[in-house]
Every structure is written in structure tokens, then in C-alpha cells.
Amino acid sequence: MGRLDEKVALITGGAMGIGRACAEHMAKEGAHIIVTDIDDVTGQQTVSSICEQGAEAIFLPQDVTSESQWQSVLESILTQYGQLNVLVNNAGIAIRKPFLELTLDEFHRQNAVNLDGVFLGMKTCIPAMAKSGAASIINVSSVAGLKAAPTLAAYSMTKGGVRLLSKSVAKECALAGLEVRINSIHPGIIDTAIWQKMNETMPGDNRRTAEAGASGVPGNIVGKPADIANAVVFLASDESRYMNGSEVVVDFAYSA
């Protein structure tokens, strides 16, 4: 038996990186996987790879900043599966730029994806998840939501917001008697494509690779997406039934 047998799990930004690893690991534990992303091609490839391993997965295109798309995605899931047990709010972007050069449009875009997307995901899905019983929401924050991140001020702001939004809504759900646990997870320096994408906002500066970022990690150890996925599986499972409103830091003592 898998640790997530028959649970229906939605992973946003699941086409690659941490999101893909979460989808793959949860599928291996028996979950029915819904991957959403704005990248249709890579998203379909991720789902095909999961299905080739004998698991069940579907892809739905989604912009997490759109409330109507959140409603459409949820309706599709409930039509096909009749329930939603796990939500991994993983979709995110990182705009890297000195604060005084950051435009208001960039600030709003950073907030829209990383924080509005989490807000919309929880607001849309909690009623249905509460009916499914013993549901779990895992919001992907960052160590940048726990400590300062120069040239990533807006990103850090959103990730700090994810942390406290998770805690506040977790308490509200518990007080309302809703069977939905909400926890945040805080990855450290993880080897994903987000490092290369950060450089797009600072042309000519190629220092921000995962290896360079690991200079602040004891032993210069770079994490892998699987390191985060393993923790997400635990938070999604009934093994973590008494964890609610918590933050799980997976950073090899980077923020210690």
C-alpha cells in the first residue's frame, strides 16, 4: 500500500522542478495526480512520464493568478474524481533585481503569482477539500520567507506572506471545524530552473546558480527537488495528521 492511496492531489506549477518531483513522488505513493501549469508542453510531458510508470495523472492548463481558471480546474477535478484531498500550491516566479530598480509592475507580478495564487488556491479549494475529509494543503514558501534576500526583496516579501497566510488560514479552518490542515514548506538552495530564470531580470550577471547560492549552506550542499518532494509526501499523508499551521524548513541548516 502507498502512503497516499486513493488521495486526489493537485500540484500547481507541476511541469518541472520541485512541482514535478512532488507529482512523481506522490504518484508513487498511490495518489491520483493533477498537474497544472502555464507550460502546456512540459506539463503534458510530466504527466506522460508519470503514466508510463503505471500511475494515474492528468494535466490541466492553469494560470494561478486567474480566479476563473481556479474555479474551472476545481470543477474538472470534482467532475472526474468527486473529491480533492491534497493541494500543493507550488507555482511561483522569482524576479531578481536591486530594489531601487524594481518597477511597480514587476512588484505586482511577483505578488500576483506567488501570493495571490496561494490565496486563490486556498479560497477556491478549501470548501471542497473540507467535504473530502482529512485534507492537506501544502504551500511552498522558501527560506527567503524566513530571512532577508538581497536583490530578491519582492520575492522574499511574497514568501514571507505565504508563511503567515498559511498559519492564519490553518487556525481559521481548525476553529471552524474544517478537516483541512495547512502547512508551509521552506526549501533552501535547490537545483531547479528558477536560478537560470532569475538571471533573465539581471542581464550580464550569471552568478546566481544553485551552486553559487549554496555558498551560504554548511558544506556548500545543493539540494535536489526530491528532497522537497519527500517532505511534501509526508505533509500530504495521514502521518502528519497533527501538524497544522506549521512550517517545515528543508535547507541543510542554511537558515539555522
What residues are annotated to the active site?
155
Cα separation, 39 vs 14, in Å, equals 9
Cα separation, 143 vs 146, in Å, equals 5
Residue 125 in grid coordinates? 479549494
Residue 86 exposed, middle or buried by CB count within 10 Å (0-12, 13-18, 19+): buried
DSSP state of 100: G
Q: Position 244: which residue type? A: N
Sheet holding 57-61, edge to edge: 57-61, 32-37, 8-12, 86-89, 135-140, 180-187, 247-250
The set of residues, in sequence order, having a beta carbon less than 8 Å from that of 196 and lying 6+ positions away, is: 209
Backbone angles phi, psi at 194, to 5 degrees: -60, -30
Q: From the centroid of its chain, how far is CA 53?
A: 23
